[in-house]
Amino acid sequence: MQNGERKKVFAANWKMNLTADEAEDFVKKLLKIRIPEETQIMVFPPSLYLIALAKIAKGRPIALGAQNMYWERAGAFTGEISAPMIKDAGAEYVICGHSERRHIFGESSEMVTRKARAAQIEGVIPLVCIGETLEERQAGETLEVLQSDTLSSLAAVDADPDIIIAYEPVWAIGTGLTATPQDAESAIAYIRSQIKEIWGKTAERIRILYGGSVRADNIDELMRCPNIDGALIGGASLNLESFLEIVTNGTNI
């Protein structure tokens, strides 16, 4: 299966940014844009905004997701949200193991796979992030890290073609540095080969995104790569115009 047969994904990760009014305004304006058939748009706002945004986007071709969750369904876990709550809010996706969760908040792949499994059980689709640090890349350990992150982050998860993976080299996130299309393609092809080891043919249907300083001027070369199925976009997704420019340039290739 070539990437032309996998629906492209452009996912906005707003992190801890925007006010509630700004978030609503963004989604309302986004809904006025014609989204190409072969493209899927996802928005990951701060969780507090999910209920309001889900009401605005209900029945429309924009999917919403949470940026994080805890694996328990309910209980004494102050500050956390669960997969049933995400679903109840009207969201369909959840990011598991974003590099900021792994590196600022100490999440391990073992925690990531528990989260992804808990989401899967509730019918919330996990978007699982993996990627090497600069030190690991410089030490020539990129493939080793990608293998171990992929296998351990998916260890508890059932094979499912709807699950999304994002390859996000840690050194490229929010730094203005982007992996070359060649490096991104070879890392993503390698991740796909690892998924194939555990999930067989399903691996060909999994969308694997690139993330790390994606902009309107670098998306088209990334999207020409046969294994890259879209992008997870942080900084450049906070502004509607720049996000839409990325979607347009990444779709018309």
Residues that bind ligand PEP (CB under 6 A): 13, 15, 168, 173-174, 211-214, 232-236
Q: Residue 174 is which amino acid?
A: G
Establish whether 103 is a catalytic residue: no
Nearest distance, CB of residue 72 and ligand PEP, angstroms: 25
Q: Which of 98, 100, 107, 185 is catalytic?
A: 98
Q: Between residues 157 and 179, which has the closer beta carbon with respect to ligand PEP?
A: 179
3-state class (DSSP) for residue 81? coil
Nearest distance, CB of residue 178 and ligand PEP, angstroms: 8
> Tokens in use for 79?
């500050």
Nearest distance, CB of residue 118 and ligand PEP, angstroms: 21
Classify burial at 237, counting beta carbons within 10 Å of its beta carbon; exposed 0-12, middle 13-18, buried 19 or more.
buried
Q: Between residues 89 and 170, which has the closer beta carbon with respect to ligand PEP?
A: 170
Q: Which of 107, 132, 136, 168 is catalytic?
A: 168
DSSP 180-192: -HHHHHHHHHHHH
**DSSP annotation of 70:** B
Q: Between residues 113 and 213, which has the closer beta carbon with respect to ligand PEP?
A: 213
Spatial separation of the C-alpha atoms in residues 179 and 240, rounded to whole Å: 24
Q: Between residues 101 and 199, which has the closer beta carbon with respect to ligand PEP?
A: 101
What burial letters (b/e) apply to 40-56, b meaning 16+ CB within 10 Å?
bbbbbbbbebbebbbeb
DSSP 224-250: TSTT--EEEESGGGSSHHHHHHHHHHH
Q: Between residues 199 and 233, which has the closer beta carbon with respect to ligand PEP?
A: 233
Nearest distance, CB of residue 132 and ligand PEP, angstroms: 14
Position closest to ligand PEP via CB: 234
Nearest distance, CB of residue 11 and ligand PEP, angstroms: 8
Q: Between residues 30 and 127, which has the closer beta carbon with respect to ligand PEP?
A: 127
Nearest distance, CB of residue 102 and ligand PEP, angstroms: 12
Classify burial at 58, counting beta carbons within 10 Å of its beta carbon; exposed 0-12, middle 13-18, buried 19 or more.
exposed
Neighbours of 241 (CB within 10 A): 10
Spatial separation of the C-alpha atoms in residues 73 and 84, rounded to whole Å: 6
Establish whether 98 is a catalytic residue: yes
Residues assigned a catalytic role: 98, 168
